[in-house]
Structure 1
Amino acid sequence: MNETFNFEEFLKVLRENFKLIIGLMLLGGLVSTAITSFLIEPIYETNTQVLVSQSQSRETITNTDIQASLQLVNTYSDIIKSPSILEEVVKNLDLEYGTSGLSSMIDVSSQNQSQVLNISVTNEKPETAEKIANELANVFQKKIPKIMNVDNVSILAKADVGDNPQPIFPKPIINLGLGIIVGGLIGLALALFRSMLDKRITTEDDVQKYLELPVMGTVAEFK
């Protein structure tokens, strides 16, 4: 018995189950939108920048000074997230997080061969993220002279979430698209499964396909 499934039959399945597939695509989109809007807590991000340079008391800066500053960037990245810095930020802002929780919200990065450190802070509340980022930069700038015996940190840009902050997660449009795709795939899988289980012989082609018998004649449909 020949049960190969060709492209023409695949298109037939799509036509016969068009409403099912479209319905599940719409349902998938609605479900993903509802989950994004009501179940997933949005995450906001803000950034501040600090410059690592040579001591501000120096009147002239040489190439050696710049290279020394670049070498300090990695060290300063670790200092920013150190307990001594984070503890003061938690205390100053009266945060409900511990230092480990606060550290998980902070990311410190720099471009290659750059003396600028970018401090990113994520939080469920955009205003809280902004306060943490700015306080972190202030505390870091204040404590560096005591830690490194050199005053060489300047704040280039303060964090500002603006009037209408947008979350970095979740992404409603992406989630909507994924919901539609998943719904469509489920609909297609159900349609194919139903087609494979349906062994009814309803057309002349079915007689030739499943029974491998020639069609001698047909009976007209009476209405």
Structure 2
Amino acid sequence: MEETISLKEIFSVLKKRILMILSLTIAFAAIALLVSYFLITPTYKASASIVVNQEENVDVSALNTAIQSNISLINTYKIVMTSPVILDEVAKEMNLSLSSSELAEKLEVTSEADTQIITVTATDTSQAKAAELANTTVNIFQNEIPELMNLENVKPLSLAETTENPSPASPNVALNTAIALVLGALIGIGLAFLLEYLDNTVKTEADIEKRIGVPVIGVISHMTEEDMQSNRQYVPNTERRQVRRDYSGQKKKTV
């Protein structure tokens, strides 16, 4: 026989375990908040852009072909920009003791679809260093690419800038806390239903009917010793009052 669960039973389980669910939700959110603020080092991003222009003295009729040719070169430029040929010069220019592979991990080179623009995004624990890394990479790439590929069609479009009160790109405290809240709630709800599923104790008459398939005819109430003592005190008092009433009535009749 397949067991089904009603919506009422679901809410009953949630209500029964509400404290556990809320505790897990709050605990996960608090942990994420503390980790985001105190354990994760904030990082900042700065971006610089270059534009791949068409070559000079290009016929207007061949302009579209030249643009498409420049776009096809962008993927090549992206690889060259993060190569040791460029990044070793960047490290020398900035007096960094980092290898080209370590610098490449701090850089992200992207391009918009069907455009001639390449964006270099640098990440560092300091916004000023991130901006300097992005700008230096763009400048050295512009200086080195003519010799590497015999091209002179790369020009800076925008350089990275710093602000007075920069907001860190990572960690995103609000996002981390929201994710932790949802995760804590889901784990709490899942744990509540798991505990309810594993709980095979009999608590009500309905549990007995469900397990043995026989209807309950009667219920024997459980009486504690305090209940019995209270009943003993109450019954004699009632009887005494009844006796007094009967005695008073008989006396009046006799008179």
TM-score, scaled relative to structure 1 = 0.86
Q: Which residue of 2 aligns with 1:127?
A: 128
- Counterpart residue number, 1:151: 152
Q: In terms of Rg, which structure is larger? A: 2
Counterpart position of 2:12: 12
- Read off the aligned partner of 1:50 and give its amino acid letter: I
* RMSD (CA atoms): 2.4
5 Å-filtered alignment, 1:73-222, equals: 73-219=74-220
1:29 aligns to what? 29
Listed as ranges, the matches of 1:50-65 within 5 Å are: 50-55=50-55, 58=56, 62=60, 63=63, 64-65=65-66
Give the drift of 1:191.
Answer: 2.2
> In structure 2, what is the Cα distance between the partners aligned to 1:52 and 1:61?
17
C-alpha change, 1:114 and 1:205, in structure 2 (3 Å) is same
CA distance in 2, matches of 1:113, 1:189: 47
Aligned-pair distance for 1:220?
A: 5.6
Taking a change above 3 Å as real, the CA distance of residues 53 and 213 of structure 1, as seen in their structure-2 partners, is: same
Whether the 8 Å CA contact 1:3–1:209 is kept in 2: the answer is no
Q: Which runs of 5+ in 2 are unaligned?
A: 228-255
Q: Which stretch shifts more, 44-53 or 167-176?
A: 167-176
State how far apart, in whole Å, the 1-side matches of 2:214 and 2:57 are. 99
Tell me the amino acid that sits aligned with residue 200 of structure 1: T
Cα pair 1:81 1:103 within 8 Å, conserved: yes
Q: CA deviation at 1:89?
A: 0.6
**1:107 partner SS:** strand
> Which deviates the most, 191-200 or 202-211?
191-200
State the Cα distance separating 1:119 from its structure 2 match. Answer: 1.2
- Specify the code of the residue in structure 2 equivalent to 1:182: L
Contact 1:144 1:151 in 2 (8 A): yes
Partner Cα separation in structure 1 for residue 175 and residue 83 of structure 2: 36
Which residue in 1 is equivalent to 2:232?
Answer: none
Aligned length: 220
1:3, 1:210 within 8 Å by CA — same for their partners in 2? Answer: no
Shift of 1:211: 2.8
> Match of 1:166, SS?
coil
> Is this contact kept in 2: 1:36–1:172, CA < 8 A?
yes
Which consecutive unaligned segments of at least 5 residues does structure 1 have?
none
The SS at the match of 2:216 is coil
- Structure 1 residues 199 and 60: CA distance shift in structure 2, 3 A: closer
On the 8 A contact 1:50/1:155 being kept in 2, the answer is yes
Query: SS of 1:214's equivalent?
Result: coil
Does 1 or 2 have the higher relative contact order (CA < 8 Å, sep 6+)? 1
Change beyond 3 A, Cα 1:131–1:203: same
Residues 154-163 or 70-79, more deviating: 70-79
> 1:54–1:61: 8 Å Cα contact kept in structure 2?
no
Task: For residues 17-44 of structure 1, give each alpha carbon's deviation from its aligned partner in whole angstroms, at most 9, with x where no partner exists.
Answer: 1111111111111011112222222332
